[in-house]
Structures are given as C-alpha cells and as structure tokens.
A = this chain, B = another copy of it.
C-alpha cells in the first residue's frame, strides 16, 4: 500500500490520540469527514493500523517495577527454542520478548509491582522454565522516554 502525506499525518494523529472524531481529524487535515473515514478504513484493511488500544498508567495499577532480563539457553535445538518461546509468551509479567544477537539469546521486558514481586517472578516462574542456562537482570531506575508512536 502507498501512503501520501495525508495518510502519514493521519497516522501521526491517530498514534497520538485515537479517540479524536473524524470531524476533528477532518479539520486538521482539511478534508471532509467521509474522506477521513475512508482513509482510516483503508489503513485498517491493509493492516497498517493493527489495533486500537487503551494505554494504562502502570504506577496507578501498582506495576511500577520494570526490569530487563537477558537469557541464555542451554541448547538451541528447534524443540527447546519453540518450547521456551511459548512458555515465556504465556507469562503475563513479560510484556516483550526478543530473540537478539550478542552474548545472550533473549531479552525480556518484565513488569511487576516491586523488587519483591520480581524476585518471586524469577524464582517461581521464569527459572522454572527448562533449558535456561544463565540470566542477567537490569533494573529500570527511570523511564526517560516511552512511546508507541512510529515516525512514518
């Protein structure tokens, strides 16, 4: 699918605030409401717009502790990898999991209440997954920037 400048601006606005009405967007883009509507539908159908979601303030729901965990597997056979990835995906404390280059195999972003909850998570959940060799955790002291908006 091909974007023009209007599509890019539209995506910019929607990534900032998806609750704007088509009327508000039509004013910003100097278009009719229907034109905006049709462009959005096209972006949804083509899969560019993947989803509409609410972002929740993690402090307000008592999930203030963010950690990144490096993980190395013992072995890298297809079977082990698939199983590990599936089990990690099922952990709701794990918001993100990436297979990465470098000394470790995976990088996980973990969100829990506090350090005690993190310890609990490591001992009772993460390290009970088989085939994990070593782990190395880094704790977030401060979140400097965090956006879901892609610059298009």
Q: Contact check, B144 vs A85: say whether CB atoms are below 8 A apart.
A: yes
| Residues A140 and B98 in contact, CB atoms below 8 Å apart | yes
Q: Are B54 and A55 in contact (CB under 8 A)?
A: no
A152 contacts the other chain (CB 8 A): yes
Given A56-B11, A150-B56, A150-B58, does the pair A98, B144 have CB atoms closer than 8 Å? yes
A114 within 8 Å of B by Cβ?
no
In the complex, the answer to whether B89 meets A145 with C-beta atoms within 8 Å is yes
The count of residues in chain A whose C-beta lies closer than 8 Å to any C-beta of chain B is 59
Residue of B48, B57, B89, B146 touching A144 (CB-CB under 8 A): B89
Could you write out 16 A-B pairs with CB less than 8 Å apart?
Answer: A3-B61, A11-B61, A17-B53, A47-B60, A49-B55, A50-B54, A51-B55, A52-B52, A56-B152, A66-B98, A94-B145, A95-B147, A95-B148, A96-B145, A96-B147, A98-B143
Sort A-B residue pairs by CB-CB distance and give the 9 closest, nearest first.
A92-B151, A14-B54, A97-B144, A99-B142, A97-B145, A19-B52, A101-B139, A102-B138, A99-B141
> Which residues of A are at the interface with B, using a C-beta cutoff of 8 A?
1, 3, 11, 14-19, 46-58, 60-61, 63, 66, 68, 85, 88-89, 92-102, 106-107, 111, 138-152
